[in-house]
Structure 1
Amino acid sequence: MRSTFRVLFYVKKGSARPNGDLPLMCRLTVDGEVKQFSCKMDVPPRLWDVKNGRATGKSVEAMQINLAVDKIRVEVNRRYQELMQSDGYVTAAKLRDAYLGIGVKQETLLKLFEQHNVEYRKKVGFNREVATWKKYCCVCKRVREFLAHTYHREDIPLKELNLTFINDFEYFLRTEKKCRTNTVWGYMIVLKHIVAIARNDGRLPFNPFSGYINSPESVDRGYLSQEEIKAVMNYKTANKAHARIRDLFVFSIFTGLAYADVKNLTTDNLQTMFDGNLWIITRRKKTNTESRIRLLDIPKRIIEKYADQRLDNHVFYMP
């Protein structure tokens, strides 16, 4: 059941300043309960209209007073709506304290994001990957840039997040950062995860992503023809780093291993099987499925080429 709610502004008589001005007060009435607080400003009695609860006239001073009154009224109404959403009921005391910030800890998006990233970094090497941690840090950086560019602020309270914020962030990524659809989709998944943390522990009573729709585009990655593979293999360069990258790419072609799997490949994964051939016995990093790959002549020659450059038991030094 919705509360009866009223906001009234008045000047406090009997508390005149030395110059005759009176303190401006705000009175909140919720279901008959009354609380008031000071608006932290003084008003000349001659300008105050008791009936309308506003300053009269079109002077600069009267306009400034009314602007402050309107600003307080809007903020009080916003706090009222937040309390109704989060708690389901409002009292005059709760509303006053919420407006004044008494007993309310302002949780902000970037603060939560940074805290998450610090905790995530501690798990890297155990059950988390450094690449994923770097992605969280990247999205956190983009949110910080977005807030400064679009909202001209350093951070934003969690309770101010809404669908407009989400759509504005997507627009920023597409226009200012020139991100394509799949990159935007990936960034939004990360942000949605951070928002879910706030929702699950009660710091955010609503879902700002409600109504937001975004999906990845299907990408045709294509493939290399036999002629193109030969062109890569025959590419000559005096740059040793470029030659290494070419050889590792060719190794991936002939083994079907991804970059991460080649990087993790150790001498323990190279085994001579019952048929007398050298095989790679490993588990894929992404899927954790076992792979058994017979080494053909070309990948074996690449392994032999870099055997004397190993820093440890890893087959290749990966740049």
Structure 2
Amino acid sequence: MLIPIYQAHNDKIKGLLGNGYAPGTLEHFKISLKYLKEFPIWKYDVKDIAISKIDVAMITEFDFYLRSEKNCNNNTAVKYVRKFRKIIKICLNNDWLEKDPFVKYDGKMKEVETEFLTDEEIKDIYSKKFRTPGLERDIVIFCAFTGLA
């Protein structure tokens, strides 16, 4: 079944935090697993999917679920599906699957245009007084110049 394999994978990543894996990586895999737990209930009214039943149609439906039910944009949906693909590769490497169901899946990232603050906007932020604790002007300016969110 899919969910225990995915959970075992996430448990291994948790054990390797700081040793090749960052906390953000684990968090993305956790979210992908959460959505993969919800998906078969939504689509098939079952709690888990046998890995032998995973095909391109199921993958395409999962992609649709992410976009429609979870309101993920294209790039976010593709990233979650790619996390799922890693689990399928584990299944293939262990001979639990005979063929790769992702061969015909075509999830492509879209180019994102990043908008930058103008000099005028940076000056406005720099001259603003913040009342919220923790929202220091220098932190906001630092983030603007370094590209941190």
TM-score w.r.t. the length of structure 2 is 0.94
**Deviation per CA, 1:182-215, whole angstroms, max 9, x where unpaired?**
1011111101111001001111111111211110
How far apart in 1 are the matches of 2:147 and 2:123? 19
The correspondence for 2:48, drawn from 142, 146, 155, is 155
Are 2:138 and 1:247 equivalent residues in the alignment? Answer: yes
What is the count of residue pairs matched by the alignment?
A: 149
Are 2:90 and 1:197 equivalent residues in the alignment? Answer: yes
Aligned amino acid, residue 251 of structure 1 = F
Are 2:30 and 1:142 equivalent residues in the alignment? Answer: no
What value does the CA root-mean-square deviation take over the aligned residues?
A: 1.4
Aligned amino acid, residue 2 of structure 2 = L
Are 2:115 and 1:225 equivalent residues in the alignment? Answer: no
How far apart in 1 are the matches of 2:97 and 2:125? 53
**Deviation per CA, 1:245-265, whole angstroms, max 9, x where unpaired?**
x422312344x3746xxxxxx
The correspondence for 2:14, drawn from 102, 110, 121, is 121
Could you tell me the percent identity over the aligned residues?
A: 26
> Aligned-pair distance for 1:239?
1.4
Q: Map of 1:178-197 to 2, 5 A cutoff?
A: 178-197=71-90
Q: Map of 1:32-111 to 2, 5 A cutoff?
A: 108-111=1-4
Which protein has the bigger strand share? 1
> Aligned-pair distance for 1:116?
0.3
- Contact kept in structure 1, 2:117 and 2:144, CA below 8 Å: no
Which protein has the bigger helix share? 2
How far apart in 1 are the matches of 2:120 and 2:148? 22
Counterpart residue number, 2:24: 131
Are 2:69 and 1:173 equivalent residues in the alignment? Answer: no
How far apart in 1 are the matches of 2:13 and 2:77? 22
- Contact kept in structure 1, 2:40 and 2:46, CA below 8 Å: yes
Distance 1:149 1:257, change over 3 A: closer
Distance 1:249 1:237, change over 3 A: closer
**Deviation per CA, 1:203-256, whole angstroms, max 9, x where unpaired?**
11111112111101111111111100011112222211223xx422312344x3
How far apart in 1 are the matches of 2:43 and 2:132? 44
Who wins on radius of gyration, i.e. which is larger? 1
How far apart in 2 are the matches of 1:232 and 1:191? 41
Aligned amino acid, residue 131 of structure 1 = G
